[in-house]
Amino acid sequence: MLPTPLANLPRPVRVWCLTFLLFSAMPSALFAADLQISDARIRLLPGDIPAAGYVTLTNVGENDTTLIGAESAAFDDVSIHQSVSQDEVASMQHVDQLTVAAGEQVKLAPGGYHLMLMKRKHPIDVGDEIEITLLLRNGQQQNAKFHAGAPTTQ
């Protein structure tokens, strides 16, 4: 017997409720699988200097996927940035969202889009694996393991 209010319902109603819950969760799991993550790495810098997260995002689905942010238990602040150069002056700009079109690939790489990882919560060493959760516009989240590399990591 179930130790919940469901236990008081007739068996066919309980089965229907549990089946509904199971199937309502499936589309989100299937959608998240449309975004493939590869080559996830972090370029660590000394001290508390912000680190950069690089990754290749491949959308194998039939719909566009939009990244609206990221979070990690290892950093207080994770945001999407883009390195830009205008009039021979380089700067980084915050980006609210990054869309990966259906069937396309976007690389977060040095000199372009990247995750800005600020305020480490604990020491991170070269070789550590850091989990970062990518936040998608549709409310889904996708976890990825990022490999921490030296400052010379590209």
Model pLDDT for residues 30-83, shown as the tens digit of each residue: 445 689 999 999 999 988 899 999 999 999 999 999 999 999 999 999 999 999
Residue ranges of E strands in 33-140: 35-43, 51-59, 65-71, 75-86, 89-94, 98-100, 105-108, 113-120, 129-136
Same domain? For 86 and 117 the reply is yes
**Number of C-alpha atoms within 13 angstroms, CB side, residue 37?**
19
pLDDT band at 90 (very low <50, low <70, confident <90, very high): confident
pLDDT of residue 15: 57
pLDDT of residue 7: 64
State how far the Cα of 79 lies from the Cα of 64, in Å rounded to an integer. Answer: 20
pLDDT tens profile 97-153: 999 999 999 999 999 999 999 999 999 999 999 999 999 999 999 999 999 999 887
Chain centroid to CA 45: 21
Same domain? For 144 and 105 the reply is yes
**For residue 52, what are the domain limits?**
35-149
Same domain? For 115 and 51 the reply is yes
Same domain? For 102 and 125 the reply is yes
Same domain? For 23 and 62 the reply is no
State how far the Cα of 110 lies from the Cα of 87, in Å rounded to an integer. Answer: 19
State how far the Cα of 127 lies from the Cα of 85, in Å rounded to an integer. Answer: 31
pLDDT band at 14 (very low <50, low <70, confident <90, very high): low
Residue 154 lies in a domain: no
State how far the Cα of 153 lies from the Cα of 143, in Å rounded to an integer. Answer: 22
pLDDT of residue 29: 43
**Which pTM value belongs to this model?**
0.76
Same domain? For 64 and 2 the reply is no
Residue 110 lies in a domain: yes
Length reported for the chain: 154
Same domain? For 62 and 120 the reply is yes
pLDDT of residue 89: 84
Task: Identify the residue with better confidence: 137 or 88.
Answer: 137
SS3 44: coil
